[in-house]
Amino acid sequence: MPLFNPKSCQSTAIGLLARREHSRYELANKLRLREHCGDEDIESLLNSLEEKDYLSEERYTEMIVRSGLNKGYGRYKILNKLYQSKVTNLLIERYLNSDQINWYEQIHKVCMKKCAGQLPHDYNKRAKLARFLKSRGFENELIQLELNP
């Protein structure tokens, strides 16, 4: 029978948050895997961490969006990561529909990097590039705009 230790659970949570931002759902799942954290302790601990602003869904969402953009991901790839982390739709809409994100610029940058600054003229190479962009989470309309100027 594992021994529940709220202090140790809190210490673990703060240690995880010190390394990087976590969503509430993600942090709860990681804590449930620890023997010293009980379900009843986790919910109150998460509330306490949010009150102290150690845990912030908004910071987490901002980090995921920024990280995804830096990695050259499109809207759907970033959206999927946020859905998996159970981020609220309100935060997702606020950050992914931001005026600061130019998705056309994002896809163009990814294409230029992938193609060494020159879009391919060959149909098969363009189709391969389109599949690559789709796997990166870009929308079909955006891919068509980029590949058929």
Give the confidence band of 3 by pLDDT, cuts at 50, 70, 90: low
Are both 16 and 40 inside the same structural domain?
yes
Is a pLDDT exceeding 90 seen at residue 36?
no
Looking at the structure of the chain, the number of domains it has is: 3
- Could you tell me the pTM of the whole model? 0.86
For the segment 116-134, the average pLDDT, to the nearest whole number, is 91
Residue 5's region, left for phi above 0, alpha for psi from -120 to 50, else beta, is beta
> HEC profile for 7-64?
HHHHHHHHHHHHHCCCCHHHHHHHHHCCCCCCHHHHHHHHHHHHHCCCCCHHHHHHHH
Structural domain for 82, as ranges:
58-96
Q: Rg for the chain (alpha carbons), in Å?
A: 20
pLDDT one-digit tens code per residue, 85-120: 999 999 999 999 888 899 999 999 999 999 988 888
For the segment 11-27, the average pLDDT, to the nearest whole number, is 94
- Closest among 63, 61, 67 to 87, alpha carbons compared: 61
Are both 76 and 113 inside the same structural domain?
no
Are both 109 and 76 inside the same structural domain?
no
Q: Is 1 among the domain residues?
A: no
Are both 30 and 62 inside the same structural domain?
no
Are both 66 and 51 inside the same structural domain?
no
* The pLDDT value given to residue 57: 95
Are both 51 and 10 inside the same structural domain?
yes
Are both 14 and 43 inside the same structural domain?
yes
Q: Is 40 among the domain residues?
A: yes
Q: Is 142 among the domain residues?
A: yes
* The pLDDT value given to residue 66: 95
Are both 112 and 128 inside the same structural domain?
yes
The answer for residues whose C-beta is within 8 angstroms of residue 132's C-beta and 6 or more apart is 114
Q: Is 63 among the domain residues?
A: yes
Q: Which residue has the higher pLDDT, 33 or 35?
A: 33
